[in-house]
Structure 1
Amino acid sequence: MRYFNQIKPVEAFKVADAKELGQLLVLDMDGVRGKGDTHPLEAKLRTFVDRSAVLRGVRAALPWFEVLLFHVLRNELHRPKGTKKALADFGEEEAKKAGRGLANALLANVSAEAAVDEWMRTYPALGEMELQFPFLRPMMNAVAGAILAQVAWGVKARAYLGAAVSAADAVSDAVMINEFYEMGDTGTAKGLLAMVGGNVAFQTIIVVTQNHGLKKNKWRTMLFEMLSVVTFVKPGLDAHRVASGAEHLQGAAVAPLTEMIITKAGELVFEAIPGLVLQVAALLRAKEKGTTAVVSILISTASTALTATTIFWDDE
């Protein structure tokens, strides 16, 4: 990639090339981002652009392009400062504002592509820049995706929020099972209980599959994981592993992030969606619409939506 990047002209750059270039850019800058006003990022970025034929071409046409990339890679949150200036009127100060703006877009959006789209709409000059250099959007999509994957708050926010909502959903389901029994609606109570049981059974299967090949402390780890399943704390445990960057244990079937995605998918299929449908049906049949039931449905809806978006985003 480095070799072809030095000689490949912009007209020969395809989407796949642009994505690889964006990923390589973030990888090369890893470890030198966010260390004060003057730090190795500026020099390293200049070297990267010097070695890249397509980026040299952009810099030749837009002298402030490096400033834009510099602040994109810094990924520091600032109070948004938009600018409606056209591309012809853009300078280093406008490039600084626009570069800082991507961090705010990443915080507000679920996916890197959505964040880049919002970013380019916020700064119209970037849209003009894309027309001139079409490879820049897929490159920036890759840059934004790589930043989201590396930066702690992006992963932690999604992991811990998902765990909190899952826990709230489990508590609300338990409350509603008890309430349905008290109302005499044993069919709905048993149905909801069966869905919770199905989810627990699925999580248990995942635990056995994930830890069966461990080379060290296999049975102790498996017992601990099963205990986390039956006590409904596994979502929080998975979130902590992902957010803290836990390593893929030797012999484990998949990495912690993949395990979290699989368990969330099981939760979605066995409990979240069918439980939500069952509770809505019960609420529609009930003569009195209790506040507890409405709150439980809202929590289940939030859990389902967040779980689905997390699965599709992290699976990318």
Structure 2
Amino acid sequence: MGLPETTLYASNYNKDVEIESEMVRQMDNVVQEYTFEEDEMITSALGLNSGLKMKGAIPFKEFKKTLSTCRDFRGFYNPKDGDIYVTNTFTVRGTHSQVAARMANYHYKCRNPAFGVMKEQEANSAEYLDIPNSHSAVYKNDYAFPSPLADREVIVKIVWKRLGEKSIMVAYHPLTSHPLVENKDGKSMIRGSLHSAMLVSQLDNGTSVVNMDFHINFGGNLPTAVINGFIIPNFNRIASHYQAFFAYSLPLESMTKTDGKLLGELLINQIKQARKKGGWTKRADLGKVGVDEFLYISVAMRKLLPLHPWFRALLHEISLNKVKVAGTVRTALSDLKDHDSVNLANCLSTIVLSNTEATAAVDHWIAQNAALEEFEKKNEWMRPFFAEVAQYNLKTSNLGLRLRVFGGALLSMIDLVTDIYMTVQFFNTDEQEQYGRINAWLISLTIFIQILASYGQNHRKLSYFFQDSVAIMIGFKPTLDAYRVGSGAEKEEHQIISPLHEMTLYILVCFARSHKSELVSLLLVLEHRAIFPL
């Protein structure tokens, strides 16, 4: 990682801080005078969320909670008139005015390199037409739609207003025209409308909740391919970038456990993005490039590296996700070198291989190496950060999750096949049909119990229930559970217990099922005790 890069990025960050500090001063200390029209815009923004309950709106199925700080992310489309409704709620660190200022700076002209390319691309399609005062602006944005559709444009007036001691509303109100627009370049554009509201509310723990609601119409109905291939990916990208912008800007001294988890997610995303730039043969080197990008983009990591230079080598080696022989590192934290980092990384990869949960693997790893325990005392974000990285390695390791899943699938299906085979053998053997019936009854009972448990877990989403039922019928359910736990799947909203607890429940059922043969054997011994004397 070159020194010029880190110096440039630090300089840009300091400029961002200066701009945001002035915005905070304006919000906190300068008295703002609002016109009747501007107050109406704020009132309209407050009621925007009711649009999500409109009749005829179809929910977007491909929306996902982008990062762990995301509380809610939903989208709806009304095919009748082309209205698009999106709501996104997430938490960020900072006071309400600090968060509002940082959101505004991101939207205006952020200098964080994580979004530099994106903002340069947007600079050609977006411009501020007018800034009437310190609490409002007029903004125009162009949208390039795929051919043969015509491009779109929207013009909005942005107004912010403090609603209370700990909340600020930013309203985006559509304008039908503006003197500085009207196709000044002669390009044919369809004018749409954007009505948006951003409410920032400060909590007592120094964290703020951001609720963003959008109502967009790009000038009528849109093809399904445009919705799925353009609209949904765009909103996913915007939602994740807003949250990442805040996380990358966090200073090291204020990092918490929650921040550590979020930074771990961003590191994995950076590695994934870097690896898309080349083929499989370049996977290892590109993974290291992703690590370096993460280290010099993050404000916290830029400060950490001069204090602990070995940290870069540790992340490099962990990104390779290779299982090698490694022992405990007994070197003190102050004396750690790059070769110690390699041993620490190999140690983590080996421990991850022998665990089904990344958190347990990281707990073991830290407890085994005193230097890591000492590092955690000064950096509480460390454990959840590496838990995210270990979870990714567990999911992608050829010897980890895949080995467990395929091995479990084989053993599970063999168990069911042998049960069925023995049942058929009993029925085909004279005077042993009753044991075949007992075996068949026990198999049916365990399958019924598993299906009943699956219904209790997934009855609010029948597609999950039917998927699990098929897996149960073919003996594949334990494998499916192992995959969900190993890949880091979390409890869905419709479920009662987590995937880990569900897997534990089915392990108990399978344990009971595996002992039915002993029951049948015991019955045989009792009936033929003359042949098998006790």
| Fold match by TM threshold 0.5 | yes
The question of whether the paired residues in 2 share the 8 Å contact of 1:23 and 1:146 is answered with: no
Q: How far 1:125 sits from its partner (Å)? A: 1.4
Structure 1 residues 113, 185: CA separation in 2 closer, same or farther (over 3 Å shift)? farther
Alignment of 1:4-23 (within 5 A): 4-23=246-265
* TM-score normalised according to structure 2 size: 0.40
- 1:283 and 1:48 mapped to 2: Cα distance? 61
Q: How far 1:21 sits from its partner (Å)? A: 1.1
Partner of 1:77 in structure 2?
323
Q: How far 1:136 sits from its partner (Å)? A: 0.4
The structure richer in helix per residue is 1
Question: Deviations for 1:24-72, whole angstroms, at most 9, x for unmatched residues?
Answer: 1111101646856982333432231122232233222211111111111
Structure 1 residues 265, 13: CA separation in 2 closer, same or farther (over 3 Å shift)? same
SS at match of 2:416: helix
Partner of 2:419 in structure 1?
173
- 2:270 and 2:315 mapped to 1: Cα distance? 13
Partner of 2:356 in structure 1?
110
Q: How far 1:134 sits from its partner (Å)? A: 1.5
- 1:127 and 1:135 mapped to 2: Cα distance? 12
Q: How far 1:112 sits from its partner (Å)? A: 0.7
Partner of 1:300 in structure 2?
none
- 2:270 and 2:371 mapped to 1: Cα distance? 27
List gaps (5 residues or longer) in structure 1.
214-221, 246-259, 289-316
1:196 has 2:443 as partner: yes
Give identity over the alignment, percent: 20
- 1:194 and 1:155 mapped to 2: Cα distance? 34
Partner of 1:309 in structure 2?
none
Question: Deviations for 1:185-243, whole angstroms, at most 9, x for unmatched residues?
Answer: 8766534312323566677x99xx54999xxxxxxxx9xx97x987x47669979x99x
Structure of higher RCO (CA pairs closer than 8 Å, 6+ residues apart)? 1
- 2:265 and 2:344 mapped to 1: Cα distance? 20
1:28 to 252, 266, 270: 270
Partner of 1:3 in structure 2?
245
The amino acid across from 1:163 in the alignment is A
The amino acid across from 1:132 in the alignment is K
Structure 1 residues 178, 266: CA separation in 2 closer, same or farther (over 3 Å shift)? farther
The amino acid across from 1:162 in the alignment is G
Partner of 2:155 in structure 1?
none
Partner of 1:124 in structure 2?
370
The amino acid across from 1:15 in the alignment is K
Partner of 1:139 in structure 2?
385
Alignment of 1:1-316 (within 5 A): 1-30=243-272, 32=274, 39-174=285-420, 176-177=422-423, 189-198=436-445, 210=463, 232=474, 272-276=510-514, 278-281=516-519, 287=525
The structure richer in strand per residue is 2
- 1:119 and 1:92 mapped to 2: Cα distance? 18
Partner of 1:295 in structure 2?
none
Q: How far 1:264 sits from its partner (Å)? A: 7.4
- 2:465 and 2:346 mapped to 1: Cα distance? 46
The amino acid across from 1:196 in the alignment is I
- 2:244 and 2:331 mapped to 1: Cα distance? 34
List gaps (5 residues or longer) in structure 2.
1-242, 456-461, 488-498, 527-534
Question: Deviations for 1:86-114, whole angstroms, at most 9, x for unmatched residues?
Answer: 11221111112212222111112121112
- 1:41 and 1:117 mapped to 2: Cα distance? 25
The amino acid across from 2:377 in the alignment is L
The amino acid across from 1:89 in the alignment is D
The question of whether the paired residues in 1 share the 8 Å contact of 2:314 and 2:342 is answered with: yes
Q: How far 1:267 sits from its partner (Å)? A: 6.5
The amino acid across from 2:510 in the alignment is A
- 1:73 and 1:3 mapped to 2: Cα distance? 23
Q: How far 1:140 sits from its partner (Å)? A: 0.4
Q: What's the RMSD between the two structures over aligned residues?
A: 4.4
SS at match of 2:400: helix
The question of whether the paired residues in 1 share the 8 Å contact of 2:267 and 2:290 is answered with: no
The question of whether the paired residues in 2 share the 8 Å contact of 1:59 and 1:66 is answered with: yes
The question of whether the paired residues in 2 share the 8 Å contact of 1:192 and 1:275 is answered with: no
Structure of higher CA gyration radius: 2
The question of whether the paired residues in 1 share the 8 Å contact of 2:353 and 2:400 is answered with: yes
- 2:329 and 2:256 mapped to 1: Cα distance? 30
- 1:266 and 1:121 mapped to 2: Cα distance? 29
Structure 1 residues 26, 185: CA separation in 2 closer, same or farther (over 3 Å shift)? same
SS at match of 1:39: helix
